[in-house]
A and B are shown apart, each in its own frame.
Chain A
Amino acid sequence: MTAGVDDLPRTSNVRTQQMALWTTAVALVILLIAYAAFPGFWPPMSPQLSADQVATFYRAHTAWIRFSMVTFNLCGIMLLPMFGVIVVQMKRMTTQSQVFAYVFLSATVSSSTIFALADIFFATAAFRPNRDPEIVLVLNDLGWLVFVAPVGMALVQNIMLALAIYHDNGAGAIFPRWVGYFSLAVAIAMAPSALSVAFDSGPFAWNGVISFWLRNIAFGTFVVVMLVVLRKTVHQQSVDEGPFQ
């Protein structure tokens, strides 16, 4: 795995990064299952549902909602290891001051805390589905608003990654240059979902084609592509640092 280097202390850095990537890969698969199991995503619940409709929905699908929210709760933040690897790799870029890596890390912490909040609202709504429908409705609203709209942190992450790759123009560039443009494209795809807080129907509403599907598919694609790219990058690091030093 580590290009023929066994148990040298410096190879443990590479090893932990590889394990982090595998953790995220496994968590992503589990998350996709949870995602598929959440009845509220097939199709995504409309913001125009009435309180009674939402309460009836939660009562009808309590078990599946609880299953998917427990799984989100457990595995949602397990995507974090991959972002940790991105920070480590950004810090390896030699042609710059590392400032993008620190900002990326800061945005990662904030975006994780927000990601963790959305499923608390969904889970609370499903915990006592016989609640007053008005309360179920407001919990459902809060869950959707927090889940879909706050893309600002992801934008900063992707833009900072793109800027770092753009400025990493020495001979030993860490990432291929297309990764920077890809990262930027993902940011552009995710940005419009911020509009979901102002629209109650159409493609920009939280169940819309742009706010929901484009955003989530863009983010999922980003994670998958970065897993593949980072696997190569970490392997390259082990080659660079392992046998030649």
Chain B
Amino acid sequence: MSVSELTPDDEKATAVADSAAPASKRDLNIVFWIFPAFFGVFGIVFVPLLRVIPPPRPDVGYAGMISFFEAHHTTIRIGLVLLCLAFGGAAVANGYVAYQMKRMTSGPVFAYVYMGGMAVGVLPGMLLVAVCFDAASMRLDRAPRVVGFLYDLGMLSFNGSLGCFSTAYLAFAIAILLDRNKIFPKWLAYLTIWQIVTELLATMMWVLPAGPFAWNGSMTFWLGTAIFAIWLNCQGLMLKKATDQQPAGTRPPE
């Protein structure tokens, strides 16, 4: 690798080349602040606009689904506009976590796995539900069975992208536990294991259309969302800490 000749393996030795301007961490800070900004927009899009959180009921007939879209079609379409503009923020957040993971001593493998899992998960886990809801909202006169199909496809896709995220979580947890650079604290790895357990429980959303294990259930949705919120806040705070602790002018080893 010719690139590695320009950038020595050891992070400490990777101080910026002599031709460089004084080392600054502005690039890291720009990218970091996209993380909270994106999840703020994410909240606005998914809660009041798309109405995916809290989820519409799975146990309503076609009439209920149609009245859902009749009530919310305007905000759903605005929500997808915002999402289409902003969902790249997910790539920034995930890419930046992978970047910090690449600074660990546990090697690049899990950083790449995290990035891959999360990047693929964006489509089924975030975009598709909004597209399906928009497709139902743009033509309210669709046949009821088609509306029902879009409703289910959107929600099951949103809830069912478990594999992408579980893989990323597993990579994140193992990488932290093996890391000796202490980029992230060990307890964050344990919190991430809760996330995997949550995803295990969430499998029931594809099986049961009503009750505590449905996609709006107390066990699968509400508890899972509470754990996700705690986890996401911790990850964000620890990402800030990792950003602050990274010495200016350094980069991950090749």
Q: Which residues of A contact B (CB under 8 A)?
A: 10, 13-14, 47, 88, 91-92, 94-100, 102-107, 109-110, 113-114, 117, 134-135, 137-138, 141-142, 145-146, 149-157, 160, 163-164, 167, 169-172, 191, 194-195, 197-198, 200, 237, 241, 245
Contact = CB atoms under 8 A, between A and B. Distances in A.
Main secondary structure, interface of A, reads: helix
Contact of A105 (B115, B249, B251): B115
B102 A114 contact: no
* Interface magnitude class on chain B: 35 or more
Contacts of A113: 119-120, 122-123
Contacts, number: 177
B251 A114 contact: no
B86 A169 contact: no
Contacts of B238: none
A145 B95 CA distance: 26
B92 A200 contact: no
B193 interface: no
Given A150-B84, A198-B80, A97 B25 contact: yes
B28 interface: yes
Contacts of A171: 19
A198 B88 contact: no
A163 B89 contact: no
B150 interface: yes
Given A91-B3, A99-B28, A170 B19 contact: yes
Given A98-B252, A142-B135, A169 B21 contact: yes
A135 B127 CA distance: 21
Contacts of B249: 97
Interface in B94-109: 94-96, 98-99, 102
Nearest to B22: A95
Contacts of B115: 102, 105-106, 109
Nearest to A193: B84
B102 A102 contact: yes
14 contacts: A95-B19, A95-B20, A97-B28, A104-B95, A105-B95, A110-B88, A110-B119, A114-B123, A134-B146, A138-B142, A198-B81, A200-B138, A237-B2, A241-B5
Given A105-B115, A138-B150, A156 B3 contact: no
A152 B135 contact: no
A138 B135 CA distance: 7
Contacts of A135: 146
Interface in B1-60: 1-3, 5-7, 16-17, 19-21, 25-28, 30-31
B143 interface: yes
- The residue among A97, A110, A154 with the most chain B CB atoms within 10 A of its own CB is A97
Interface string B62-101: 0000000000000001101101111111111011101100
- The residue among A98, A102, A145 with the most chain B CB atoms within 10 A of its own CB is A102
Contacts of B30: 163
Given A95-B21, A167-B26, A171-B19, A10 B1 contact: yes
